[in-house]
Amino acid sequence: MRQAEPSPYRIRARNTSAYAENKIHDDAVARRLGFRGGLVPGVTIYAYMTHPVVAALGPEWLERGAFSVRFRRPVYEGDTLTLTARETVRAEPSITLEVTGLNPQGEACALGTAALVRGSRSEIPSLAAYPKAPLPAARPAATRERLADLEALGSPELPADPSEAAAYLDEVDEPLALYREPGAPAHPGLFVRQANRALDRNVLMGPWIHVSSDVRHLGLWRAGEPLTTCGRVARLWEKNGNEYVELDLLMVADGLRPVAHVRHRCIYKVAERELSV
């Protein structure tokens, strides 16, 4: 029987990084770069977008699903976002959902594709291909030359702290009860937040922007399990005066169990002019 699609999910966006080191979230700096104000982080929008996916596909998606997302327009503090998940493929055991985030003007500010092959197991990358490395004692400035020279990124760690996982649910206003049950899975938005840390804990940047991510879940990660992010710079390029980087990352729980593979793309140097994302 065809499963009913989840109702649209509406949420008031919060700039969860208003006081962060990345000043793209600061009103004055963002206006200088051509925006209306500080940007709501892409990682926060990603967290919002996973809500209708988990509502539709359940915890199995958290264990072996995938999600590709790209951000098309800025989202600002207080914007009411409408998130919809429309089933585009159901050829059992495969299910694909098209996820759209609409701003108050009805414009698509984020587009995503969520997928699940029920009963399948993802191919697990080799841990040896993603060695753990120390974070730099002093971060160098982010330049193309410096990023290209990095053989392995320093590995940021999220310690074993269930209270931090619970605080994150409040930060992104997540209402699903499954994240708060005993032995609950951790929220998948934390994968993408840690992908940001793999960049900004290794190099020092001015205002920068998360533009897209491809996330593949490799196993269930539970709230409170320590998480290490290992990886490398996969690609560097320039477009319209903006400098881009793509990271290839493996998320490892308890130091030995891969739980997610992430390809993460950011503008690490924003052109000093009006920008459209």
Residue extents of the structural domains in the chain: 9-269
- The terminus-to-terminus CA distance of the chain in angstroms comes to 39
pLDDT in tens, 115-143: 998 877 778 999 999 999 999 999 999 99
Residues 79/37, Cβ–Cβ less than 8 Å: no
* DSSP bridge pairs for 230: 250
Give the least confident one: 10-14, 157-161, 198-202, 234-238. 157-161
pLDDT in tens, 175-204: 999 999 988 999 999 999 999 999 999 999
Query: Which fold is adopted by the domain 9-269?
Result: Thiol Ester Dehydrase; Chain A (3.10.129)
Place of tokens 């990358």: 125
* Pairwise CA distance, residues 55 & 12, whole Å: 18
Using 50, 70 and 90 to split pLDDT, how confident is the model at 92? confident
pTM for the whole structure: 0.93
The answer on pLDDT for 151 being more than 90 is no
- Give the model's pLDDT for residue 275: 41
- Give the model's pLDDT for residue 93: 82
- Dihedral over Cα of 199, 205, 210, 212: its sign: negative
pLDDT in tens, 213-233: 999 999 999 998 999 999 999
| Mean pLDDT of all residues belonging to the chain | 93
Comparison of pLDDT for 231 and 161, the residue scoring more: 231
Name the phi and psi angles at 171, rounded to 5.
-60, -40
Give the mean model confidence (pLDDT) for residues 31-48. 95
Q: Within a 10 A sphere around the Cβ of 274, how many other Cβ atoms?
A: 8
Give the mean model confidence (pLDDT) for residues 40-50. 97
* Pairwise CA distance, residues 226 & 162, whole Å: 10
The answer on pLDDT for 277 being more than 50 is no
Of residues 180, 158, 137, the one with CA closest to residue 254: 158
* Pairwise CA distance, residues 127 & 253, whole Å: 12
Report percent pLDDT > 70 for the chain.
96
Helix axes 42-57, 189-200, angle to 10 degrees: 150
Name the phi and psi angles at 107, rounded to 5.
-90, 145
List, as one string, the DSSP characters of 112-168: EEEEEETT--PPPPPGGGS---PPPSSPPB--HHHHHH-SS----EE-S-HHHHHHH
* Pairwise CA distance, residues 164 & 56, whole Å: 26
Quick one: tokens of 152?
């392995």
